[in-house]
A and B are shown apart, each in its own frame.
Chain A
């Protein structure tokens, strides 16, 4: 039994005999690492502070008697702890990350360097505006790029993530309906089944009822079903384009015209904008509102789940309702309009976040935009689409594309090629881990059985894509040859083998608790 310095077991005995045992449970560079609560000293600290002066307290009756019961690590302990943890992560800098609908592309380090300039990182959101003209200019410039690329007249910069940007767009639609006096009658939002899960959740959070639209046989919004659902109670349609099947909604103008004729608005989920940036402008296609995931399209890093940034472009019809704060030019300088009492914000639906949005992400995105230029962004979109279609062409000999024809920036396969093999989509994905690849997006979109959605992006070389395709073709052949056991056991070489998610949900353990028989651990 492996014990930590406080007598708490860090790992149960290994029961499977798949791998040879080591005395430590470590496997060379793969080193087991306990929780900080199991290595740290509950009385210690890894930060040197000056002595307190003993100034009399003005805390009233609210001072705590003790320090919080948290361990402190000396700096070398902390470094080793977190470096060891980092080595248990797959990342885009490790290898190909073909998650569909998620866009994991190279994160240029120049972006990071720029975001850390003191003039950006060490600036307070409520400093006098005269002292932050460069920062406000960055917000303005990113907004200008987005407006030009989308052909939309206005942009709201404060949404903190893609889903938050959706909320912004739908709030603007709600505000417009209120202004038209139709908020009580237009209560239904149409969301295709292939929409991102956030779309219906967003509509519901804005107080709308959600009505699904099925996909047609080509993987696009079923136009007839859509027409049948239109009516005077429709507030908006939320369409993802390119959609979650990796396909361009060919009928997008018709969708826009029809929803407009019916008196509703057209929300477009812009999560997949990287496929069409500088190739087509949503504003030319009839869109009223669309969020843009800066972290996907403009290469700000995903950081294990965030932070993101989701500016939302708006049509003329929705622009007056944009949230505060926003930038205007006033008396020869950039001004952030921060309050609804300002005449420029009289129709704004209000505030979505405490300050001005994800400034750190704006700096990264602007750095990327300047590096690429308009010509580079167009080339990036073309390469992303080329790479995806190349993958589709190479893999279709052994795997089954969900739809015929070309795709956009992601290729969608289903599980027909695994029929009767005993290997499921999940097993197939887990076997990819052992081959050194992050799995693709699985079981999404929901409209396809056993979906596998692969997005290579433009920053993968032909060589890395070929290597990836060779591995998948090999696995597909192996599955068909009847070697299901291997797939069921995968992954074997990862830091952990398949984890019991059911047990985790049944009786959730969401934080560390001191072991009952080791009183010294928590005092």
Chain B
């Protein structure tokens, strides 16, 4: 076994020092009939053979980069500079533990401080934490945080919120007796949750751009929420949009949660991703998750530590702000490296390229008979209504090497109104040739 350094002589020698004859003398606390069960598992394999098996499994998946690709809905295909993956594979980052010994973890702590600073700036908020599991769990934690702040237990989700996010919020909030209401789903972007807000509302949770791609006006909703003593939680599933759109903070959000996968992180079939979580400064002690703060050492030198841990599970136990024990450190590093290469200027350029690709895609699809683009505004994702079942179209185009987008039935399987909807995303990796191939294939599919 190439990963186990001990040899049998050493094992015998060590047993001698301990004073036992056999290894199972160290397992005597395990009920004897339960010890050493026979298991139906294969024996160990060499590196070459393992590689062959794993490569075989990988080959049964179609990589997003293998052809024209237009799927989004909370996970986006972007280009990641080579520097990012090199840095996150540095042993000292990859194989470090949580920075509980700050004197020898300044590398991790400083980048977490930089990450917090970047996220706070991007979202237009005062403070950010050192990352969450992903955007959806961050949204659920935001609802729980709003409950702690307002001492109310009614959560209202907008109809444009990614349904998976809404489901995660339901799962977490309803466990502790909170009510979660959802506004009706409107692909065209009409309809508002403003009328649902009342004095029992802890927060309204609004995504912009929403799951259909529509850009939502948060300012009016923030005003209405605040008038009733409720918080506005803004959800962003495409972090690149923050390079071009007014920040949620500038529009009055109290808490901003986002999926940070788009910056520095691969698609990974859904994870690991990195949740961004930012808030107004006065809410800091109610925040979940890890925080890194600046301080000085015994010599007066600037340094960084994990701080405000009295909110956390290892101190407060059953009164903690959450049960979270970890963060997405390495994914946050990928975000920070990519973001520090981009800078604000580069992020804006990247966002413009995304928007242009989406505009061109929308125009190309709109020219096809029977295809209707529903959005009046969008960033890099929009929704079209097709004259037939979108899932069938997506499946058929996939056989032709084109991933056409996410069909409505994938997100709302029991909602017939969404069966013909197709949610289409384009990014900076989308080429004119991709768009042309998609349009031709879709046209062919619809006329057949």
Contacts and interface: CB of A to CB of B under 8 A. Distances in A.
Nearest to B324: A163
A386 B103 contact: no
Choose among B2, B14, B36 the residue with the greatest number of A CB atoms under 10 Å from its CB.
B14
Given A353-B133, A406-B28, A85 B107 contact: yes
A11 B301 contact: yes
Choose among A42, A126, A439 the residue with the greatest number of B CB atoms under 10 Å from its CB.
A126
Interface in B136-177: 136-137, 144, 162, 164-165, 167-168, 170-172, 175-177
Interface in B10-56: 10-11, 13-15, 17-20, 23, 25-31, 34-37, 39-45, 47, 49-51, 53-56
Contact of A86 (B4, B34, B107, B208): B107
Interface stretch (B90-98, B223-231, B435-443): B90-98
B110 A88 contact: yes
A262 B248 CA distance: 51
A123 B325 contact: no
Interface stretch (A223-231, A471-479, A489-497): A489-497
Nearest to A308: B326
Given A248-B30, A360-B268, A122 B97 contact: no
B111 A45 contact: no
B353 A509 contact: no
Interface string A1-32: 00000000011111110100000010000000
Interface residues of A, number: 213
B102 interface: yes
A205 interface: yes
A433 B315 contact: no
A383 B17 contact: no
Interface residues on B, range: 35 or more
26 contacts: A45-B343, A59-B215, A60-B215, A66-B344, A71-B344, A92-B97, A120-B58, A128-B398, A130-B395, A149-B41, A163-B313, A197-B313, A197-B314, A200-B317, A209-B318, A303-B88, A350-B171, A353-B136, A370-B53, A379-B1, A383-B11, A462-B13, A497-B301, A499-B297, A509-B295, A510-B293
Nearest to B9: A462
A167 to B, nearest CB: 6
A49 B345 CA distance: 11
Contacts of B350: 47, 49
B135 interface: yes
Contacts of B98: 102, 302, 304-305
Contacts of A186: none
Contacts of B414: 339, 341
A480 interface: no
Contacts of A197: 312-315, 317, 320, 325
Contact of B34 (A174, A281, A392, A393): A281
B384 interface: no
A89 B330 contact: no
Contacts, number: 724
A55 B269 contact: no
B308 interface: yes
Interface in A455-506: 458-462, 489, 491, 494-501, 503-505
A126 B406 contact: yes
A495 B30 contact: no
Interface in A362-421: 363, 366-367, 370-380, 382-383, 385-387, 389-390, 392-394, 406, 408
Nearest to B46: A371
Contact of B58 (A104, A126, A134): A134
Given A41-B343, A121-B266, A355-B271, A79 B299 contact: no
B342 A45 contact: yes
A363 B58 CA distance: 10
B394 interface: yes
B190 interface: no
Contacts of A207: 175-177
B284 interface: yes
B333 interface: yes
Interface in B234-264: 242-247, 250, 259
Choose among A166, A387, A461, A510 the residue with the greatest number of B CB atoms under 10 Å from its CB.
A510
Contact of B108 (A89, A94, A198, A460): A89
Given A499-B102, A510-B284, A462 B10 contact: yes
Contacts of B10: 462
- Please provide the 6 A-B residue pairs with the shortest distance between their CB atoms, ordered closest to farther: A72-B343, A355-B270, A119-B58, A303-B330, A134-B60, A374-B41
Nearest to A163: B325
A142 to B, nearest CB: 11
Nearest to B87: A82
